[in-house]
Amino acid sequence: QVQLVESGGAMVQPGRSLRLSCAASGFTFRNYAIHWVRQAPGKGLEWVALVSHTGTGKYYADSVKGRFTISRDNSRNNVDLQMNSLKTEDTGLYYCAKDWTRFGVVAPDTWGQGTQVIVSS
Amino acid sequence: QTVVTQEPSLSVSPGGTVTLTCGFSSGSVSPTNYATWYQRTPGQPPRTLICSTYTRSSGVPHRFSGSILGNKAALTITGAQADDDSDYYCVLYLGNGILLFGGGTKLTVL
């Protein structure tokens, strides 16, 4: 079955960096775009970033543009989210999710369990 | 700045019908926004209910349906059950690889 497992969450100080990873299995990874979505404590879901199935298309929410970088390795079925210049408002539970459709972008469909990021001094 | 709007809260009686909507602060939702709906319960990842406006996700009961109503996307629950008491989120595709979630609707079944 489709499985996505996030890792790398931690508590870090503002201004520091963190790298999240998403390991995928159970589907043809190279055919699907992958999203990162987060949820801050007491807040709603926020779309963060997307990498296309080939890895050439990379898209970001305005709130993270210029600070976060998404990448994928189709040989290892893995997606990373490099987060730099972290702010307290980046605190939250970060999910990776597979897109619903092959070779395109529609919306997150199957989700991992999430990894917790806490940005605090 | 584009904002995706949802009702903050709604309530429905058991067995009743309720419609949640998902719209733009200005403009209309169309099928090319691929409205997708999620149910969010504490301690669990989001559960995908409806993809791309109309398509029920695998294993989702038929009482959940998606549509376009007027200028908004809609999620209708027909014959609400107690375990539908949850938070519901929509996401819209804005184009150029960008997506935006609504603020969520807290649905109470009582």
B83 near B63, Cβ under 8 Å? no
Contact A45 B40 (CB under 8 A): yes
Give the model confidence (pLDDT) of A8-25 as tens digits. Answer: 999 999 999 999 999 999
Cα angle, residue A101 at apex, residues B2 and B93 outer, rounded to 5°? 5
Question: What is the rounded CA–CA span in Å between residue A46 and residue A37?
Answer: 6
Give the model confidence (pLDDT) of A40-62 as tens digits. Answer: 999 999 999 999 999 999 999 99
**Residue of B2, B44, B99 to mutate, interface with A, max A Cβ within 10 Å:** B99
Contact residues on chain A for B99, CB-CB shorter than 8 A: 35, 47, 50, 105, 107
Contact residues on chain B for A113, CB-CB shorter than 8 A: 45
B94 near B75, Cβ under 8 Å? no
Identify which of B93, B97, B100 has the shortest CB distance to residue A57: B97
Average pLDDT score over residue span A105-117:
96
What pLDDT score does B1 carry? Answer: 86
What pLDDT score does B44 carry? Answer: 93
- Which residue numbers in chain B have pLDDT < 50? none
State both tokens at B36: 């997708």
Question: What is the rounded CA–CA span in Å between residue B12 and residue B79?
Answer: 10
- A21 beta partners: A7, A80
- When pLDDT is cut at 50, 70 and 90, the band that residue A87 belongs to is very high
* Residue B31 near chain A (CB below 8 Å): no
Å between B40 CA and nearest CA of chain A: 9
